[in-house]
Structure 1
């Protein structure tokens, strides 16, 4: 027999903070928690409900009523006979008498789909082994560190022969050394928050505090993050605070009325994605979402969140069918959404000043990475969607016509420092008929790989941090399919294997050479030497580090015509050495003998006082660094 004890709940500090939008650790109060070895307290916010009960495997799924504190809208009760591993839901009765089983919004683990009952977790602390990683992260700002992200969908990176998922433990054994071996600095996981529909890729979330049980238990996910940090890999996770899953047994009309979503059904209904929009102006929703963000960053030790669909939170008319919607000032800004994002970033950075808050934002909204005090949104990074679209459009084009569209490359130089950018070739660009990165490239198979190597080098040299989606590292031909693993069989082909070698070499150069990342967001980090010559479809610029004589010359040839005696202007006479040639035979190119050293004389060229000549490979790129130049001390 289940016994209910201590059911009346008085107004507490935690309840007050939650209701006033200041409860930023609400998961420690709501949900299911052990009071001692024999008592478990359940709490849920359902202010307009007529009755709430808890049902679970511990009471044969029969309703045990909870008690309402009318002043807080919180229902609570303490039960005996509950054990770790038990399943439960809340039974919510609306004021009209409708009865609906609902998830626990604050659950930290759910049963495996298709079920969505929450799991009672034992209060067992995680023993972390990442103190050295966290200390290093805290020492320097991310802006001045190399950030090279490998984006992963865990369900389709690799699967077993029977098509079953790898577990978090198996992914730790295989994914971590693989990504580390390629030379990436971070892993970005497409949403691992609990979700039911595989086809949503995790962007229609069910559990805002629960790692998905597809790959294991809550504790297994924490161990995965710990293993990443021990391997000196950061972990970023995609997070969706703008909208949630449509299912009626989830957050929608939780107490029988709009609770987490807008009361205005037109604003609540997200037609484009088949979801419900959070009411970002409601204080309890703010507490819920900011608690979720801090939970992943604090409890799970994540190094950053990529906030999905920020544009949907910034504009009233972003969704289909909402054209013409305006605020009280007559424009289309979503004032509640803007205020929430500013509040979110203020609180996150107050707790974790050394993490990444990345906005996936596709419009020209100003100051996305600007300081909140100056009217900005407060993120420290934004995906550069304009650069991504223009770059892909340029490289997809037949080289014969690139001279007429060179502005696709040069336009990004105009706004590259407007925000602190990450350059993304993400999952969105290799799905739904868009083709894989390699398949986008024009020409025969050889030229496709030559284009891909050049494009990847262009990204590595361009100011901004960078992200690549899984499979692009070896030039997978098929576009991404979320229901099956990557085409690992591709690596039996020499050209794919060479491409993978090239990615490792490029990442190694990027990580080792401070000019490629140290001044990513400052005008001093780049010198424009020869960036606008459509006729030749070539480009040269210099990336500069803080040290005067520490720089890398990046030279590109975007057409399949070799340029001999190609002159490059440089700041100093002296000797220079090759860092990377994309046409090196080792990487699948045609050059069996490389030009490895270059001598610059006092011959001015393109605004630089010295210059040297190279052979610029057809459809290729060179990265070159100074070896011994005039003016640099021997030290």
Structure 2
């Protein structure tokens, strides 16, 4: 049966023009399956882009998957869009598109714009509405104050393995079950945001969501789209922002997905030197094709619009920026100037950031970009890519490489700790201790630390305190907050039983108190991305493996002094130069007995002496705990001064 277009087509001429020019940023409202409420009952309008098709039909459980039952009509405007309305089809109907291409290729495809899919390994799309009663208006109002002027402490979560029901290898929690526990847990620990590994529908669970088939659908493994909205809503009610991992760089080649969609390389580059990723064996989006750009930018805005998402972390940006990424000579195609820069991807990323910030100025975008590409977080108007934040991969690699070394050898690698401050303010950075560092035999963060059990836990406390004391936003992958022994395993729950043991409980208390310090001390966030907010006291004491520095807020009175001892030796009467006479108070010590430390602490009031040190006329005699960081705050001058 040939389906007739309605008297008022879903897509207007203006829609088609915008889509074809790469400027339709809300095309999800027009393409895909949309339930129509008519006087004679319910129907669903289907629209799909398939310009190389000779025939397209909708097949589903409502017509016995009959390829001839409901044929779509091609628009006469040459857009390549096929559409039509199927009567008596509504919420919950399963469907696919059958496509017969001009070259004779036949295939059954899921809907690129489907908002819901069957639970994998089943592959049909599901007709579904997105109605939901939100109650997060207070959060959305609060979000309007600039995020970069506030603490950003991110808890990175994989939905399927955060906690399992009943036992460690039981079933995954649903979105609503997560909503009953995750917001309260994040609130207890003091994180400001949750970042979910990709929630978009993916056929292979072991890809952790990074091989996306259904870009517009939260995975059905844990519930419906409304169930995911319920989780976001619950997090917002607890004052927790939600960031999603987003993957616009590549997609898997599963037959029911985007790959070779209409018998042509529609979404991906045709030439494997551009269109096939050598590491992941996946297809690479062609952002130079206008309709693909509309698909991707619309997808970004869709999650912000329909699901109230507060930020997007863009995965694998480096793989998009470089034409020769992970390729040998002769395996890539230079740009029109003969260079290795991917000019189309650069333009796409700039346009993506511009569209997001124009429509949602209070949403943040974050780049996972692992090279020294200049201006990732600079404004597009000044030649940058326009992201708000960038992962500081260099800090992560240097810090972990340093702390993996036995303390005996650390004095020879002291510059690994201080080097990050040479470029810390060239971009706005997030310090990531992410999932990538605790998988594939890399071991957990705890197990990376050398020495006996006491030294490993002390080293982990040292790492975390150093991260919170370093300029930049913070990110910690789940399990790290209580020092899980085992590296992350996506098929199992976190080892929550470990949290019952004092050393692990101490790590959790440390994270809770670090988040509290971060939130309550303007010196740690007001100038988080400015060189004016940081000052070295001493970064050259390689012999003792000690660093000392100051963090500064907008007010002169908001300053914190940090001293870190990266050896397991107590340093007594260690002198630090300060500019003001008076006394300082120790407000944080990672060696506190509360955290499982040795309780090597300083007196409540530490008086300065008129003994010059580090270019200052006054100094403090300190006791530095082993593998520890102390935080000092200036209180006042002496009463007699």
User: Matches of residues 392-407 of structure 1 in structure 2 within 5 Å?
Assistant: 392-407=400-415
1:603 lines up with 2:600 in the alignment? no
1:146 lines up with 2:151 in the alignment? yes
The CA distance in 2 between the partners of 1:610 and 1:491, in whole Å, is 44
In the alignment, which of 29, 43, 52 is matched to residue 39 of structure 1? Answer: 43
Contact 1:11 1:69 in 2 (8 A): no
User: Matches of residues 311-322 of structure 1 in structure 2 within 5 Å?
Assistant: 311-321=318-328
The CA distance in 2 between the partners of 1:89 and 1:491, in whole Å, is 46
Shift of 1:353: 1.4
Shift of 1:265: 3.0
Say what the alpha-carbon RMSD is for the aligned residues. Answer: 1.7
Residue-by-residue CA offset, 1:309-343 (whole Å, 9 max, x unaligned): 00111000003346564222222101111111011
In the alignment, which of 563, 576, 601 is matched to residue 568 of structure 1? Answer: 576
Shift of 1:494: 1.6
The CA distance in 2 between the partners of 1:554 and 1:593, in whole Å, is 14
User: Matches of residues 403-442 of structure 1 in structure 2 within 5 Å?
Assistant: 403-442=411-450
The CA distance in 1 between the partners of 2:440 and 2:637, in whole Å, is 50
Closer/same/farther in 2, CA of residues 432 and 7 from structure 1, 3 Å limit: same
Q: Aligned with 1:50: secondary structure?
A: strand
Question: 321-330 vs 341-350, which deviates more?
Answer: 321-330
User: Matches of residues 49-88 of structure 1 in structure 2 within 5 Å?
Assistant: 49-63=53-67, 64-70=70-76, 71-88=78-95
The CA distance in 1 between the partners of 2:394 and 2:273, in whole Å, is 30
Q: Aligned with 2:446: secondary structure?
A: helix
In the alignment, which of 571, 582, 593 is matched to residue 585 of structure 1? Answer: 593
Residue-by-residue CA offset, 1:173-214 (whole Å, 9 max, x unaligned): 111111111111100000001101011110010111110111
Residue-by-residue CA offset, 1:232-287 (whole Å, 9 max, x unaligned): 10100100001011112210111100100012233111121121000010000000
The CA distance in 2 between the partners of 1:190 and 1:66, in whole Å, is 36
Contact 1:571 1:610 in 2 (8 A): yes
1:190 lines up with 2:189 in the alignment? no
User: Matches of residues 449-464 of structure 1 in structure 2 within 5 Å?
Assistant: 449-464=457-472
1:272 lines up with 2:279 in the alignment? yes
Question: 129-138 vs 605-614, which deviates more?
Answer: 605-614
Residue-by-residue CA offset, 1:515-564 (whole Å, 9 max, x unaligned): 01110111110111111211110010000000101111111000111111
In the alignment, which of 262, 269, 277 is matched to residue 269 of structure 2? Answer: 262
In the alignment, which of 360, 368, 372 is matched to residue 360 of structure 1? Answer: 368
1:246 lines up with 2:245 in the alignment? no
Shift of 1:618: 1.3
Contact 1:539 1:556 in 2 (8 A): yes
In the alignment, which of 137, 142, 162 is matched to residue 143 of structure 2? Answer: 137
What is the match of residue 499 of structure 1? 507
What is the match of residue 6 of structure 1? 5
Q: Aligned with 1:524: secondary structure?
A: helix
What is the match of residue 537 of structure 1? 545
Shift of 1:592: 7.0
Question: 157-166 vs 405-414, which deviates more?
Answer: 157-166
The CA distance in 1 between the partners of 2:235 and 2:637, in whole Å, is 40
1:17 lines up with 2:18 in the alignment? yes
What is the match of residue 479 of structure 1? 487
Question: 359-368 vs 571-580, which deviates more?
Answer: 571-580
Contact 1:253 1:260 in 2 (8 A): yes
Contact 1:7 1:76 in 2 (8 A): no
1:237 lines up with 2:241 in the alignment? no
What is the match of residue 510 of structure 1? 518
The CA distance in 2 between the partners of 1:95 and 1:416, in whole Å, is 54
Residue-by-residue CA offset, 1:411-438 (whole Å, 9 max, x unaligned): 1111111100000000000001111000
1:326 lines up with 2:326 in the alignment? no
Q: Aligned with 1:302: secondary structure?
A: coil
Q: Aligned with 1:35: secondary structure?
A: strand
The CA distance in 2 between the partners of 1:249 and 1:457, in whole Å, is 47
Q: Aligned with 1:520: secondary structure?
A: coil
In the alignment, which of 387, 399, 414 is matched to residue 391 of structure 1? Answer: 399
Shift of 1:298: 1.6
List gaps (5 residues or longer) in structure 1: none
Q: Aligned with 1:439: secondary structure?
A: helix
The CA distance in 1 between the partners of 2:545 and 2:617, in whole Å, is 24
1:526 lines up with 2:534 in the alignment? yes
Q: Aligned with 1:336: secondary structure?
A: helix
Residue-by-residue CA offset, 1:445-482 (whole Å, 9 max, x unaligned): 00001111011110001010110001111111111111
What is the match of residue 346 of structure 2? 338
Q: Aligned with 2:161: secondary structure?
A: helix
What is the match of residue 31 of structure 2? 30
Q: Aligned with 2:481: secondary structure?
A: coil
Shift of 1:574: 1.6
Report the count of equivalent residues.
Answer: 629
List gaps (5 residues or longer) in structure 2: none
What is the match of residue 111 of structure 2? 104
